[in-house]
Structure 1
Amino acid sequence: MVTLLMEKYLSYTRNLLLLIGLFVTDNCLSQIKPVPITSLDSVMIQAPKPVLILLSTDWCQYCQMQKQQIRKNKKFLEKGNLFHYIEFDAESKETICFQGKDYVYKPTGANIGTHELAVALNGPDRLAYPTWILLDKDCQVLFRHGGVLRPSQINELIDTLEKSEH
């Protein structure tokens, strides 16, 4: 009888610890939450700061790899309060109002196309995925990079943002 009660108690304790562990791990890993691009105008009114945009697509393996690197980058997670971070799907079909102008998805073929805002943010160069874009507090482009950023390059970008705050 005592061993049965002891087994139930240990089982209960083990499950409780597992649940607590999952909760704590989930909270630690979810420190960086991208701002939806549709909210950028209102977010900038409330808290104007630089904006770091990862221009990507769902099918781009390099984009997904870059997103994973960001979620694991300690400096990015620690200094995330210095900037707004956006992951923008360049093939989004949603109409987006940015700085008072509406941007829409433009089909270029059967089930393929690009969002006007992605083209505008990308600038005159050919679209590449991923593309990193850094905007200042007034949404003026400070930096563009077409392609993957290595973790050390991401850290340099964060260092630059931190220095510009002081």
Structure 2
Amino acid sequence: MIAGLGKNYAVLLALIGLFSSFCKAQINPVDIAKVDSLMEQQAKPILILLSTDWCQYCQMQKNQIRKHKDFALKATSFYYVEFNAESKDNVLFQGKNYTFKPTGKNTGTNELARALNGPGTLAFPTWVLLDNNYQTLFRHGGVLTPIQLKELLDAIGNISVSDLQTP
């Protein structure tokens, strides 16, 4: 009888582990190349994190996002994109093709990162919030603290549906 309980106990633990992984809110960034088609289906604000693979602050910010409970809860109210500013892939965004532009032997940036960054020096990480007309509502170069991130999420939540309708 004890052996039977042990087997049932192991099955129960396995099921708890399986279901707990499903219950955790996951933050899955949207591929920037899919944003246009998603916006045609359902208009939402677009929150973009411009980053690079080598940027330690970018990786720190991504880790904060994964742990931020409000981010996971509110992620359905906007499209979240992590865009590698040094991506060598051609990207079609808003009907325009953006390409990688070398700045040195093994360095360069994607034109889309420069376009989203706006005028000035490209900084990492950079946060960009766009409305459904792809107009910039917010831009911030640097790491957002958890409190600033919560304020940004609250602001996104306050964007009314009427603000998102195409004129």
TM-score of the alignment, normalized to the shorter chain, above 0.5: yes
Matched to 2:71, the amino acid is F
SS at the partner of 1:164?
coil
Residue deviations 1:15-65 (CA, integer Å, cap 9, x gap): 323432332333234522111001011011111110000101111111111
User: 1:101, CA displacement in angstroms?
Assistant: 0.6
Is 2:116 aligned against 1:121?
yes
| Residue number in structure 1 paired with 2:149 | 154
User: 1:11, CA displacement in angstroms?
Assistant: 4.5
Pick one of 36, 40, 46 that aligns with 1:41: 36
Is 2:51 aligned against 1:64?
no
| Residue number in structure 1 paired with 2:97 | 102
Separation (CA, whole Å) in 1 of partners of 2:157 and 2:107: 39
- Between the aligned residues of both structures, percent identity stands at 55
Separation (CA, whole Å) in 2 of partners of 1:61 and 1:21: 35
Separation (CA, whole Å) in 2 of partners of 1:131 and 1:22: 36
Pick one of 88, 92, 110 that aligns with 2:87: 92
**Unaligned 5+ runs, structure 1:** none
Separation (CA, whole Å) in 2 of partners of 1:111 and 1:20: 48
| Residue number in structure 2 paired with 1:27 | 22
User: 1:14, CA displacement in angstroms?
Assistant: 4.1
CA contact (8 A) 1:29 1:71 kept: no
Provide runs of 4+ in structure 1 moved above 6 Å. none
Separation (CA, whole Å) in 2 of partners of 1:17 and 1:165: 44
Give TM-score scaled by structure 2 length. 0.89
Is 2:137 aligned against 1:142?
yes
SS at the partner of 1:137?
coil
SS at the partner of 1:91?
coil
Is 2:81 aligned against 1:81?
no
What is the aligned residue count? 161
> Rg bigger for which structure?
1
Give TM-score scaled by structure 1 length. 0.89
CA contact (8 A) 2:25 2:73 kept: no
- Cα RMSD after superposing both structures: 1.6
Matched to 2:147, the amino acid is S
Matched to 2:7, the amino acid is Y
Separation (CA, whole Å) in 1 of partners of 2:21 and 2:133: 34
